Amino acid sequence: MAATDDLAVRASSDALLKASAPPKKRNMAQFIRWVLLFAGGIVMVMPLAYMISTSMKWPWEVYNLGLIPEEPTLENYTHVLEDGRFFGWFINSLVIATITTLSALFFDSLVGYTLCKFKFRGRYIVFIAILSTLMIPTEMLVIPWYMMSQSFGWLDSYWGIMFPGLMTAFGVFLMKQFFETVPDDFLEAARIDGLNEFQIWWQVAMPMVRPALAALAIFIFLGNWTAFLWPLIVTTSPDLYTLPVGLSSFGDEADVAWELIMTGAAISTLPTLVFFLIFQRFIIRGVVMAGLKG
Amino acid sequence: MTNLILRDLVKRYGDTEVLHSINLTVDEGEFVVLVGPSGCGKSTTLRMIAGLEEITEGTIEIGGRVVNNLEPKERNIAMVFQNYAIYPHMSVRRNIGFGLKTAKLTKDEKNARIDEVAGILGMTDLLERKPAQLSGGQRQRVAIGRAMVRDPAVFLFDEPLSNLDAQLRTQMRLEIKKLHTRVGRMMIFVTHDQVEAMTLADRIVIMKDGYIQQIGTPAEVYHAPANTFVAQFIGAPAMNLMEAQGTGHGVKLWNGAEISVPGLSIPAGRSVTFGIRPEDLKSDATGVLSGTVTVAEPLGSETLVYVDVDGHEINATAPGRTPPKAGDKISLSLSGEDAHLFDTASGQSLRLS
């Protein structure tokens, strides 16, 4: 009796499955999907896992590639946090990433708005020119940046580290696309209400693209937080190092202190994690919207 | 006395002229509706009055002052947009108060004005809500409130009811009309819906292809349309137009029926267009237009009947509870007094010229 019931249940569930695809094929597709996701997950998570793992190893164990430390220790954390330099670098990174983010948000959205909402001669050419700079890799820009910094006396200064990132072509592009979704009626209503063009942008248009601003803020903050090449080139005094540059200087020429570098890296991911958690709902919406409207 | 005068108003985009020498005077307190099919230039005209479009030629005067070079905020106007344009990130109170931002009033005075407007619009309970929590009709009311709070000399409405469903549209139409009676300000209202135009307007301005076709009261444009375009555009169902020829004292229709038209002498043999409104056709066994009902559309109070008369489709309305059905034979009679006659070539009314 039980067996027939079982059969009946299976038959009905099979009938349901048949509606979409044969069960074997479906299971196979599901399996492949899981494998791919798992592989992707491994690729993403492994470096992080090694970072955490290495930060908890003693120096003699660093080159042993096991994921679980034989004698786990928090000694490295104490060491890094007690090292006065680390705190200075942390502050440098925080100040630079924050200022650059605020500046880029302001200028990118201002330029994006202008290119989107004002009809003027040469508008398209300006937009294409800004966009084309996206195709030049940072590595190529480093030389002109350096020469510029040299002639203006910006070498080895906060300003020198920050100036290339104060406005970004990507941000201009992103914001322009988002402002396209703000209907002109809102701006015209504000114009009739007596606002000047700057107020219209700031009080009416900007609040309407908040998700895009949040997404852009995260992109830019993370980009500057992890920037390595340019800060390395433009700074010479250790006081001005940003976190990635400072961390890489741990150890001497003969021996790189990987356990300390990984410890510093682990600590330095915390602010980005906090930043992300705060803006998460915006970034997800922002990315979705960028996908749809961009 | 604030009146609005458009003098020889022209709008060109590059070489394309979209508005040709528009002349219009609107008196203080008057409700004028600009109506026409899309692309007729009605919205462009309104936007030029608002100061959102540049004026290519001609002048706009508001209250005796040429405003061509004034910013929108300096023109003493307020505008309500089709998609409301109320700011989603602000509460109803801030939205309504937004128009007062640049006004030199104390905070208490501003709040008093906002409360007064909200009271008139029946929105006092909704002041702290965000637009997302409002229905379409309420949003439109906020948009109207934002215009009212500034107490402008001229209210401009750019198809404000188009986004509402049919029932709400009728309701808001009534509210706008009441509002006009209450505030007594000049209102200029753009729509493509001739029913809105007829019900709201003191005067209707009918436009087509950048030209004004006729300016008149709803009764005038309905009963004495200036040309065939107005005749067909105003009134639903549209006026029947048929080919005819003059007979001296009247006309002879394309099917040979002769109709005498009192008070109008049309030279024999002259080609004219004969127009008759559906409600002026009566079902009558001795009628001059005989044919077969192709479609009958019951509207409740009356039934709209499409009759095939020798290959011409004629619309008529049939009152009563036993209207004709599709396939019925029917004869329609008409009176020459109800007839509208137009020159076939120019389309202009012969009665008005």
- Tens of pLDDT along A173-232? 999 999 998 989 899 999 998 889 999 999 999 988 888 898 899 889 989 999 999 999
Asked if pLDDT for residue B248 goes beyond 50, the answer is: yes
- Residue matched to tokens 């001229």: B154
Q: Kindly state whether A194 is in contact with chain B, defined as any CB-CB distance less than 8 angstroms.
A: yes
Strands B289-298 and B282-283: unpaired
The answer to the question of residue B351 being in a domain is no
Distance CA A286, CA A284 (A): 5
Is B352 a domain residue?
A: no
- On chain A, the residues whose CB falls within 8 A of the CB of B77 are 192
Domain check: are B220 and B267 in the same one?
A: no
Residue B353 in domain: no
| pLDDT at residue B287 greater than cutoff 90 | no
| Confidence at A251, pLDDT banded by 50, 70, 90 | low
For residues B178 and B43, membership in a common domain is answered with yes
The answer to whether B101 contacts A193, with C-beta atoms less than 8 Å apart, is yes
SS3 A80: helix
Do B112 and B258 belong together in one domain? no
Instruction: Name the domain count of chain B.
Output: 2
- The pLDDT, as a whole number, for residue B30 is 95
Q: Which of A121, A185, A186, A192 to mutate to test the interface with B (most CBs of B within 10 A)?
A: A192
* Cα A233 from Cα B310, distance rounded (Å): 91
Q: Please report which confidence band the pLDDT of residue A66 belongs to, taking 50, 70 and 90 as the band edges.
A: confident
Determine what percent of chain A is predicted with pLDDT higher than 90.
Answer: 47
In the structure encoding, which two tokens stand for residue A33, read together? 């999907």
Which residues in chain A are contacts of B99 at CB distance < 8 A? 193-194
B160 & B254 share domain: no
When CB atoms are compared, the residue of B52, B82, B87 closest to A191 is B52
Residue B192, amino acid:
H
Residue B348, in any domain of the structure: no
The verdict on B286 and B193 lying in the same domain is no
Please give the pLDDT value at position B85: 86
Domain boundaries, chain A: 21-73, 83-293
Check which CATH number belongs to the domain holding B112 and give it. Answer: 3.40.50.300
Which two structure tokens, joined as six digits, stand for B276?
A: 């008759």
Weakest mean pLDDT among A277-281, B16-20, B125-129, B150-154: A277-281
Helix (H) or strand (E) run with residue B273 in it:
strand B271-276
- The residues near B165 (Cβ < 8 Å, ≥ 6 apart) are B136
Q: What is the mean pLDDT of chain B?
A: 91
Q: Is A272 helix (H, G, I), strand (E, B) or coil?
A: helix
Query: What pLDDT score does B80 carry?
Result: 92
Answer whether residue A5 shows pLDDT above 50.
Answer: no
**Banded pLDDT at A290 (limits 50, 70, 90):** very low
Helix A169-179 / helix A258-293 crossing angle, nearest 10 deg: 30
Rounded to an integer, the average pLDDT of B42-68 is: 94
Q: What is the pLDDT of residues B212-234, one digit of tens each?
A: 999 999 999 999 999 999 999 99
Please provide the distance, in angstroms rounded to a whole number, between the alpha carbons at the two ends of chain A.
Answer: 60
Q: Residue A232: what pLDDT?
A: 92
Q: Pick from A183, A192, A210: which is nearest to B72 by CB?
A: A192
pLDDT of residue A122: 92
pLDDT digits (tens, 9 = 90+) for B91-103: 999 999 988 877 7
How far is it, in rounded angstroms, from Cα A215 to Cα A279? 8
Is A192 within 8 Å of B102 when comparing Cβ atoms? no
Look at A14 and A189; give whichever has higher pLDDT: A189
Regarding whether B187 and B40 lie in a shared domain, the answer is yes
Shared domain for B194 and B242, answered yes or no, is no
> Which residues does A64 contact at the CB level (< 8 Å), separation at least 6?
A57, A70
Which structural domain, as residue segments, surrounds residue B332?
237-343
**Residues of B contacting chain A (CB within 8 angstroms):** 50-52, 71-73, 77-79, 81-83, 85, 87-89, 98-99, 101-102, 146, 150
pTM (2 decimals)? Answer: 0.79
Give the residue from chain A lying closest to B146, CA to CA. Answer: A193
Structural domain contains residue B178? yes
Q: Of B186, B213, B231, which residue constitutes the final position of a domain?
A: B231
**Domain end marker among B172, B207, B231:** B231
pLDDT at res. A19: 53
Angle between helices B136-148 and B107-121 (to 10 degrees): 140
Whether residue B14 has pLDDT greater than 50: yes
**pLDDT (average), residues A110-124:** 94
Q: What would the mean pLDDT of B58-81 be, rounded to a whole number?
A: 93
Residue A253 is predicted with a pLDDT of 59
Which residues in chain A are closer than 8 Å to B150, comparing Cβ atoms?
Answer: 193
Flag if B79 and A189 touch (Cβ within 8 Å). yes
Annotate A106-172 with DSSP letters as a single string.
HHHHHHHHHHHH---TTHHHHHHHHHHGGGS-HHHHHHHHHHHHHHHT-TTSHHHHHGGGSS-HHHH
Kindly state whether residues B318 and B211 are assigned to the same domain. Answer: no
Q: What is the mean pLDDT of residues A156-160?
A: 93
* B155 in any annotated domain: yes
Residue A4 has pLDDT above 50, yes or no: no
pLDDT value at A1 more than 90: no
| Range among A52-56, A101-105, B178-182 rated most confident | A101-105
Clarify whether residues B69 and B147 are in a common domain: yes
B15 and B87: one domain?
yes
Residue B353 has pLDDT above 70, yes or no: no
Chain B residue with minimal CA distance to A189? Answer: B85
- The answer as to whether B256 is a domain residue is yes
Q: In terms of domains, do B190 and B220 share one?
A: yes
B200 pLDDT exceeds 70?
A: yes
**What SS3 state is found at B247?**
coil
- pLDDT at position B352: 67
Average pLDDT over residues B189-201: 94
Q: How many CA atoms lie within 13 A of A125 on its CB side?
A: 3
Q: How much is the pLDDT for A287?
A: 53
Q: Are residues B300 and B172 in the same domain?
A: no
Residue A143 has pLDDT above 90, yes or no: yes
Nearest CA in chain A to B149: A193
Residue A105 has pLDDT above 50, yes or no: yes
In a domain, B83, yes or no: yes
- Answer yes or no: is pLDDT of A121 > 80: yes
ipTM reported for the complex surpasses 0.90: no
**For B155-174, what is the mean pLDDT?**
90
Among B231, B252, B281, the domain-final residue is B231
The CATH number given to A83-293 is 1.10.3720.10
Interface touch A193/B85, C-beta < 8 Å = no
